[in-house]
Amino acid sequence: MQCSVGRCVIVTAAAMAAPILAYGSPRGRIGPTATTQATSSTAPAATGPAEASGPGRVGDVPSPYWTRRVSEAGRVMAVEAAGRDARKRLAGRLADVEIAPEMTLGGFVRLYEPDGTDLRMFLPAARRMAVRYYDDAPIVAVRMATPRRAVYAALRSWALGRSPERRELIGQLEKKIMRSADVTIESTGIAAVPAAEVKDITEAERRLIELATSAPTWIDKTLRGVGAVRGGADDEDIAVVAERAAREDLLGKLHALQVDDDRTVSDLLDADKTLRKNFDKYFTTVRLSPHPPKHMKEGMSYVVVEIDLAGLWGLLCSSAGTPQ
């Protein structure tokens, strides 16, 4: 795979055991010295926070907890609210969808709507794909998806009404409509049952409801860290040092994630030893990313690692739901 700067080398698991994916390496392939599990570009993406394990585990149908503790009206309200949240998050993802070289959907819309517009207007084909119920908590996750081609088609119609002279861009959208038949954009929404609809509600459940009601925007995303090393050392040393730097970069980003207006992940870890212990286990799920860095400098080698934030959300739910 050739990149605009330097050389971009991807070594997959099929090629060697536990390899490192190195980008921009001046000396070619980086050897099998990484401790991180590699992932190929065809690996299935995480489906979102509904896949959390532990006390926040979920199922396709309501568990006995729901029939004993949650009213039917409360369940329906939570599902509807999670659906609205999923659509809102899905619209947020559209802003970064590339529609042309150096042009995103959000950037294009802002050219004509400087104050912004509701990107949900480009989701006419969005559909609910799954509803997941947390087994032991009054929380619902709804996964929603839209065909990418439907987004392009809606944008094309919008663009024709505002900038028919942009024929080149409109032509590119038409090509994308034809080429993206089976590609979808997905997102997962979270919502809690109103406290009044939970029988004999506990303080732990109130904390869970409060957490889910203001769930962070990052809960269904993947976070990446980048490590860069200047060439000149032995290839194996470059790989190890670059991966270590990438993991440190990712760890710093995880700690800085905002949970609410007043607290970050780091704040919660400092206040809860059990949560920190579980976080350390969660961090072992870091994997090598198939996505190269957006910007690379000549003579530098890069390693990118990533982690799904759904697991972190599950840990936060588990911590909030633990009696104190």
Q: What is the pLDDT of residue 236?
A: 63
Which carries the bigger pLDDT value, residue 41 or residue 205?
Answer: 205
pLDDT tens digits, one per residue of 278-323:
999 999 999 999 888 877 777 788 889 999 998 999 899 888 876 6
CA atoms in the 13 A half-sphere facing the CB of 41: 7
Q: What is the pLDDT of residue 140?
A: 93
Q: What is the pLDDT of residue 2?
A: 31
Tell me which range, 30-34, 166-170, 206-210, 299-303, is most confidently predicted by mean pLDDT. Answer: 206-210
Which carries the bigger pLDDT value, residue 202 or residue 237?
Answer: 202
Q: 3-state SS string over the chain?
A: CCCCCCCEECCCCCCCCCCCCEECCCCCCCCCCCCCECCCCCCCCCCCHHHCCHHHCEECCCCHHHHHHECHHHHHHHHHHHHHHHHHHHHHHHCCCEEECCEEHHHHHHHHCCCCCCHHHHCCCCEEEEEEEECCCCEEEEEEEEEHHHHHHHHHHHHHHHCCCCHHHHHHHHHHHHHCCCCEEEEEEEEECCHHHECCCCHHHHHHHHHHHCCCCCCCCEEEEEEEEECCCCHHHHHHHHHHHHHHHHHHHHHHCECCCCCEHHHHHHHCHHHHHHHHHHHCCCEECCCCCCCCCCCEEEEEEEEECHHHHHHHHHHHCCCC
pLDDT confidence tier of residue 222, bands split at 50, 70 and 90: very high
Percent of the chain with pLDDT over 70: 78
The answer to whether the CB of 69 falls within 8 A of the CB of 62 is: no
pLDDT confidence tier of residue 231, bands split at 50, 70 and 90: low
Residue type for position 45: A
CA 229 to chain centre: 27
**Distance, CA of 51 to CA of 222 (rounded, Å):** 14
**pTM for the model:** 0.71
**Distance, CA of 111 to CA of 157 (rounded, Å):** 16
CA angle 204, 209, 213 (to 5 degrees): 150
User: Does the pLDDT of residue 183 top 90, yes or no?
Assistant: no
C-alpha dihedral (152, 180, 132, 75), degrees to nearest 10: 30
pLDDT confidence tier of residue 18, bands split at 50, 70 and 90: very low
Residue type for position 181: A
Long-range contact set of residues 241-247: C-beta below 8 Å, sequence gap at least 24: 242/20, 242/22, 242/30, 242/301, 242/302, 242/303, 243/20, 243/34, 243/35, 243/36, 243/288, 243/303, 243/305, 245/303, 246/303, 246/304, 246/305, 247/36, 247/286, 247/305
Q: Which residues of 64-82 are buried (b: 16+ CB within 10 A; e: fewer)?
A: eebeebbeeebbebbbebb
pLDDT tens digits, one per residue of 133-180:
988 889 999 999 999 989 988 988 888 888 777 777 788 888 888 787
User: Does the pLDDT of residue 214 top 80, yes or no?
Assistant: yes
Q: What is the pLDDT of residue 143?
A: 93
